[in-house]
Every structure is written in C-alpha cells, then in structure tokens.
Amino acid sequence: MLKVTESHLASFERDGFVIIEGALDSGGIEAARARFEPLFSGKFQTGLYPDEWNWRMGRDREDLTRQICNGWKSDLTIASIVLREDVGESCARLRGWPGARLGQDNVIWKPPGTKPLGFHQDDSYNGWIVPGEMLTCWITLDDTKAYQGTIEHVRGSHKWPIAPPIAQFHAPDDPTSDLRAAAEAGGIADYEIVPMEVPAGAAVFHHGRTWHGSRDNKGDKPRRSVIAHCISSAAVFHPTQISYIYSRYKKVNSQEMDESYFPILWREDGYRTPWLDDYVRNGRMAAA
C-alpha cells in the first residue's frame, strides 16, 4: 500500500516530484507486463477500445514509443492498478485536494531503440476541466536507468508558469526544445533535469506543472510503465473549453463529471465510487 508521509510531502513541495517504492509487488509487476502485447495488438479483455491507442502492433514504426490512454476501460489488470484507493489518496494528499478522480491513465512501452516523448507540463492540457489541475502517479514495471529512456523531471519546475501545449509530443527531434523555451521565457537560466532511476514496482508522483519527458531508450531492455493521471474529486467540466476526446463524456447542460468515466478513487469523507471495488477485484482475479 502507498502511504504519503510528512517527508514525502516536504520533498514534493520542494521538487515537484517524489518517489515511493513498493507500489507493486513482483506478482503485480509480472501480471501487468503480460498485458502489454495483447493490449497493443488490439486484444481488449473487456471488448472496449481505449480512448487513445497511439501505436498498433503491425501498423506503426518499431522505433516509436507505444502509448495507450484509458487502458483501464479495456483491461482489468491495468484497471486494478490505476483505480486503487491508495493511488487516489496519495494524489489527493500531495496536491491538497479533498479527494481524487481518475482523469485518465497511460500505458507506456519503450522497447530498445524507441524515440523520445517531448518534455511537457501535464496541466498545459487540462483547460477542459475546472480546476485545470492534475497529479500523476507513474509506476514502473522495469528497473530504470537514465540511458533506457526513463522518465525525467525538472526539479522545482512546478513553480514555473504554465506553458502552452508543446509542438511535438511523440518522437520529437529535440525532446527538450519546449522546456528550454519555457525556461527562457521565465527568465530561468539554470535548471536540473533528474532521471528517475528506480526499481520495478516503484511509484513516482509529479505535480501537473512539473516539466517531464523521456529520451531514446539506448539500452537493451524495454521500459514499461502504468500511469494514473488524477484530478480533483471536485473537478467539473469547463463550461466552454473542449477536449476533443474527453469532452465526449460531458452531459448535456451539465458540468458534472460522470463517475462511470471519471471515477472517484478516494475522498476525505470516506466516499469512493461504489462500483470500483468489484471492478478492481475482478482485475486482481484476472491477474492471478
């Protein structure tokens, strides 16, 4: 179980990210790894397509990083990780929210030789919700090294202004170009990029304004991760700004976020979306 301590809170406030080891045990790691090839081959356990499927086996270039968004809707093992109550509680406590919803998840697969993902701020993409804030829980399924294209964070950049969405997210020639421009615009002459070198099963939490990305995998092993992007339990749809993907779940004449699509993982008053525990339990049984 993930547990946020006062030390974690202090590190997060200072750096904009914090590492908590032991989010997944060896059985959970192996079960999640086993779902990657079926998912990216289009073999969806629930019969539902994910909201975003950015790389398809047999169709796309082998040197591209693979990404699926909202794999929890398609795969019960992925669901059993990103819908956990302790993930939601940790995100809420780190960001100071009354609770946490799942905004979306990511399933990321970087085999050897695959290209970068551009450095960006998650909150740059959240104008369609109010408050437009996110807190990310990144769980690695492999031991990570800098040369393997692990996630990298810019220490303290959660205190920078929000920049526009970056020019190129997938396979940019220079993954740090937008980061450098943002630093220059903010008058920041010097900054530190920190590669996350952590054991399999570790969780790294980062603030929605923290600049982060990943470079080429120059190693001989894959780098796989499952990611929960949480938003406040109090979040609602923006009345006018649209996400071309996620605003499809907005009710007519309402800003309310439907828990069928944005479930509440944890709330300080003890509430949790009622169907989640059975759904997660099914995922754990499927992985057993």
Distances (CA, A) of 6 to 10, 56, 74, 93: 6, 42, 36, 10
Please give the residue range of the domain that contains residue 25: 7-287
For residue 264, give every residue at least 6 positions away whose Cβ sits within 8 Å of its Cβ, in sequence order, or none. Answer: 88, 99, 100, 101, 233, 271, 272, 273
pLDDT of amino acid 282: 75
Q: How many domains does the chain have?
A: 1
On whether residue 2 sits in a domain, the answer given is no
Amino acid at 97: W
What is the chain's pLDDT, residue by residue, as a tens digit (288 residues)?
Answer: 899 999 999 999 999 999 999 999 999 999 999 999 999 999 999 999 999 999 999 999 999 999 999 999 999 999 999 999 999 999 999 999 999 999 999 999 999 999 999 999 999 999 999 999 999 999 999 999 999 999 999 999 999 999 999 999 999 999 999 999 999 999 999 999 999 999 999 999 999 999 999 999 999 999 999 999 999 999 999 999 999 999 999 999 999 999 999 999 999 999 999 999 999 887 677 666
On whether residue 64 sits in a domain, the answer given is yes
- With H, G, I as helix, E, B as strand and everything else as coil, classify residue 94: helix
pLDDT of amino acid 20: 98
On whether residue 189 sits in a domain, the answer given is yes
3-state class percentages of the chain: helix first, strand second, coil last, to nearest 5: 25, 25, 50
On whether residue 1 sits in a domain, the answer given is no
Tokens 């008053």 belong to which residue?
A: 269
**CA nearest to 178, candidates 195, 197, 160:** 160
On whether residue 59 sits in a domain, the answer given is yes
pLDDT of amino acid 280: 84
- CATH assignment of the domain containing 278: 2.60.120.620
